[in-house]
Amino acid sequence: MTDEHTQSGTADIAFPVPSGLDAYRLRLKRRRLLWRSFRARHQLQAVADRTSQIHPDDLLVVAVLRNEMNRLPYFLKYYRDLGVSRFLVVDNASDDGSAEYLAAEYDVSLWRTSQSYRDSRFGLDWLTWLQIRYCHGHWTLVVDADEFLVYPGQDRHDLRDLTSWLDAKGRLGFGALMLDLYPKGPLDGHGYAPGQDPLDVLQWFDPAPYRSVRQRPMGNLWVQGGVRERMFFADEPQKSPTLNKIPLIKWNRRFAYVNSTHSALPPRLNAIYSGPGGGEASGALIHTKFLPEIVSKSAIEKQRGQHFARPAEFDSYYDSLTGAPDFWTTRSVRYEGPEQLAALGLLRGPDWAD
């Protein structure tokens, strides 16, 4: 069962309260996920363990990555500047120097695995173990190397201010719309150098439409739409990517993400994000997937088949990206910052006491 709306300044979707039987089943599901993650700890080999340096008030980033050397310098700088203290990273058999680079960084703890990303629930089993072991009681941000959290007022308020505001409001987390940015012209028509701000290259986005569905029994939101649906899934919009995430949570070792950071257990965590047009404070995850390297990487990822539950169904998606299409249309909007996104109704900033 679902409750649905389309983004356009709409009211919040009612959050469903699980029935007694559903609540029992969800508790069992959460325990199974935690047990899976506990067992998955044996798949991780510590490369650089600096976790003894984590302080009780440190804000943490947890990530899984593979072959992201071009992105890592800016990724680390961005989140350091925003107030992150420590990074807990799983490297999934990179061969481009990513692991060596991360192992040398003073605030990174690194684990390595060559096990299947898909079989680990797309990295969630590994991440959840690190969260159980190291993140209890910490505000923890779970992001990919191509995702950058933004929110109104971040030029004056870093993540420590944001998490203090959330604590004061009694909120457990902060939701976000994943917003794809893209260049004007072919995807491989611009250069990108390691350490460069991806927004120098990716400057455009689709402002609408985005539709939201509140799913039962977990109450997780399901937001779809945007440029990837327009370009690749117009004939089958139900297959388009899920764009809602709850990336920032004050973690408890009994919590578990279910499907990436799109949904979580216990169910009350899913009430954190009410989607575009919703009344709860939220941000955006600026998704910089479409740097020029996406063209060559798509052929590799098609062959590996690690990013979808049924990889063969998405062959045409990878084939289209390999052709370096132009996403830009006259309806594309140039990205100017999170205040612009708030004005468009795509997020809602905290009510800072400035």
Region 232-237: what's the mean pLDDT?
Answer: 93
> What is the domain partition of the chain in residue ranges?
2-343
Rounded CA separation 56/236 (Å): 47
Whether the per-residue pLDDT at 78 is higher than 60: the answer is yes
- Summarize the confidence of residues 321-349 as an average pLDDT: 96
- The pairing of beta strand 173-180 with beta strand 147-150: unpaired
Those residues whose C-beta lies under 8 Å from the C-beta of residue 224, and which sit 6 or more positions away, are 210, 211, 237, 238, 240, 241, 242, 243
Find out whether 331 and 182 touch, Cβ atoms under 8 Å.
no
Residue 37 vs residues 42, 125, 141, 317: alpha-carbon distances, Å: 10, 4, 18, 31
Closest by CA position to 258, among listed 276, 266, 250:
266
Checking if the pLDDT of 234 tops 60, the result is: yes
CA angle 250, 92, 303 (to 5 degrees): 125
Closest alpha carbon to 140 in 267, 257, 288? 257
pLDDT by residue (tens digit) across 6-20?
Answer: 444 333 466 777 788
Banded pLDDT at 1 (limits 50, 70, 90): very low
Rounded to whole angstroms, the Cα distance separating 191 from 18 reads 50
pLDDT at 317: 79
In the β-sheet with 139-142, what is the strand arrangement from edge to edge? 45-48, 108-112, 86-91, 60-65, 139-142, 244-250, 173-180, 282-287, 147-150
Residue 268 has pLDDT above 90, yes or no: yes
The answer to whether the Cα torsion of 347, 242, 8, 208 is positive or negative is: positive
Mean pLDDT of 178-192: 95
Quote the pLDDT of residue 296: 77
**195 pLDDT above the threshold of 70:** yes
Residue 304 has pLDDT above 70, yes or no: no
Please spell the DSSP secondary structure of 30-67, one letter per residue.
HHHHHHHHHHHGGG-EEEE--GGG--TT--EEEEEESS
- pLDDT score at 111: 98
Segment 189-204 mean pLDDT: 95
Residue of 350, 225, 344, 210 whose CA lies nearest to 283: 350
What's the rounded Cα separation, in Å, for the pair 1 and 229? 23
What's residue 43's pLDDT?
98
- Distance in angstroms (rounded) separating the CA atoms of residues 257 and 212: 20
Confidence of residue 320 (pLDDT cuts 50, 70, 90): confident
**For residue 131, which of 244, 250, 220 has the smallest C-alpha distance?**
250
Percentage of residues in the chain with pLDDT exceeding 90?
Answer: 82
- Yes or no: say if 258 and 264 are a contact pair by the CB < 8 Å rule: yes
Q: Are 176 and 149 in contact (CB under 8 A)?
A: yes
